[in-house]
Structures are given as C-alpha cells and as structure tokens.
Structure 1
Amino acid sequence: MIQCKRVYDDASREDGYRILVDRLWPRGIKKSELACDEWCKILTPSTELRKAFHSEVLDFAHFSEAYRAELAHHQDEGQRIATLAAHQTVTLLYGAKDREQNHALVLADWLRQL
C-alpha cells in the first residue's frame, strides 16, 4: 500500500516505511527530528518543473503530465519502491501545503501503476 502524508503531520506506526519525496529539505524541520527511512530525491520533480508549478506557469493537469514524463526515466527506482509497497505500507512524505494537488499524489499514482 502506498499513501501520502505531509511531512509536518505526526508520524504513526501505520505509516510503515516513510520516504521523503521532496527535492529540498522541508523548512522548519531538523534532519535529526524527521522520522523517515530514506530521502528519495531521484523521483522528485525537476527544479524547473517544480518552479513552473509553484509560480502557476503550469496548472496541475499539465504539471502532472510533465512530471509523469520525467518519472518514466526512473522506472528502476520506481519499481524498487513499488516492490517495497507490495510487502508493507509505504508513506510518501511531502512538504506542500496543498493536500489535494501535489507531486506526491502524482508519484503515488504512478507507483501504483508499476
């Protein structure tokens, strides 16, 4: 199972294996204080794509399409995480304020399709 959770929400036992999926370290959190098992930068949106989305140059639909195109170049890493999720809960941690339109949701959907 793959789920998404804001990095600022409390960790719980039900989170399982926790993966930070932001390219930048989340503001206001010390590295020693974040309960996560790994920081996977390779599956995050490129800097250019992230900036275009956050500056509203791209809407969420176009961002999602472009992000999926980037993810297609990282099938091996995606498959590694999808395999983990087949055996345990994997929680993708993200820092975005928007819980309904963010890159972690696109990533989770992509991973479920592998």
Structure 2
Amino acid sequence: MITLRRVYEREEPGETYRIFIDRLWPRGLSKEKATWDEWMKDVSPSNELRRWFSHDASKWEEFRKLYKKELAGKPGLLEKLKQLEARHGTITLLYSSREERYNNAVALKEFLTEQDV
C-alpha cells in the first residue's frame, strides 16, 4: 500500500517506511527533525518540469502527463519502490508542497498504482 503525507506532519503509528520524494530539501525543516527513512531525489520531477509546473492547478493535467513520461524512463527507481513496498507492506511518500491535490506525490502514487506497484 502507498500512502501520502506532507513532510511537515507528524509520523503516524503504523507508517513503516517513509520516503521523501522531492528534489529540494524542505524549507524550514532541520536535519534533526527530518523523519524519513530514505530520500529519493531521482524519482522527483526534473528541475525544468518542477519549475514549469510550480503547483499551478491549471497545469495539472499536462504536468501529470509529462511527469509520468519522465517516470517511465526510470525503471530501476520504480522497481526499488516496488521492492520497498513488498518488504514493508506500506510505504509513505512524503512531499513538502502546501498543495495537497496537485503535487508530485499524488502523480507518483497514481503512476505506481497504474503500473501495479
């Protein structure tokens, strides 16, 4: 199972493996307060795509399409996520955006679900 959570939120009981999936370190979060198990920068959108999207809801559909195209070119990373989910049962994808509906974690979870990860 894949769950999503904002990186600034407290860890919930039962969250077995937490993966931060943004390219940039979260603003205002000290290294001491970082509670993830792994930081997978390479699964995040490219810098160009991230800057273009800028969490603009009007660009969401196009962002999803372009990001999924980028993800399709990273089979090793997707296999790693699949293995982590198999090992831990549940993985939590952490993101820093204030936007809960239109962010890379939502698109990544959707892509992984479509790929049956």
The TM-score, its normalising length taken from structure 2, stands at 0.90
- After superposition, residues 60-75 of structure 1 pair within 5 angstroms as 60-75=60-75
Does the aligned pair in 1 maintain the 2:55–2:99 contact within 8 Å?
no
The separation in 1 between residues aligned to 2:104 and 2:84, in whole angstroms, is: 20
For 1:96 and 1:109, how far apart are their aligned partners in 2?
17
Report the identity percentage. Answer: 37
The answer on whether the counterparts of 1:18 and 1:36 sit within 8 Å (CA) in structure 2 is: yes
Structure 2: distance between partners of 1:48 and 1:10: 30
Q: Structure 2: how far apart are the matches of 1:14 and 1:34?
A: 18
**Which residue in 2 is equivalent to 1:109?**
110
Give TM-score, length-normalised by structure 1: 0.92
Runs of at least 5 residues in structure 2 that lack an aligned partner in the other structure: none
Which residue does 2:8 correspond to in 1?
8
**1:92 is matched by which residue type in structure 2?**
L
Instruction: Summarize deviations over 1:28-80 as a string: whole Å, max 9, x none.
Output: 10112111000001100000000000174x71000000000100111111111
Structure 2 counterpart of 1:42? 42
Paired with 1:70 and 1:45, the residues of 2 have a C-alpha distance of 7
2:24 corresponds to which residue?
Answer: 24
The CA RMSD over aligned residues, in Å, is: 1.7
User: Structure 1: 5+ residue runs without aligned partners?
Assistant: none
- In the other structure, the counterpart of 1:78 is 78
Return the letter of the residue paired with 1:12. Answer: E
Residue of structure 2 equivalent to 1:97: 98
Task: State the 1:94 CA deviation.
Answer: 0.1
| One-letter amino acid of the counterpart of residue 102, structure 2 | Q
Q: After TM superposition, what 4+ stretches of structure 1 lie above 6 angstroms from structure 2? A: none
Q: What is the CA–CA distance in structure 2 between the aligned matches of 1:82 and 1:61, rounded to whole Å?
A: 25
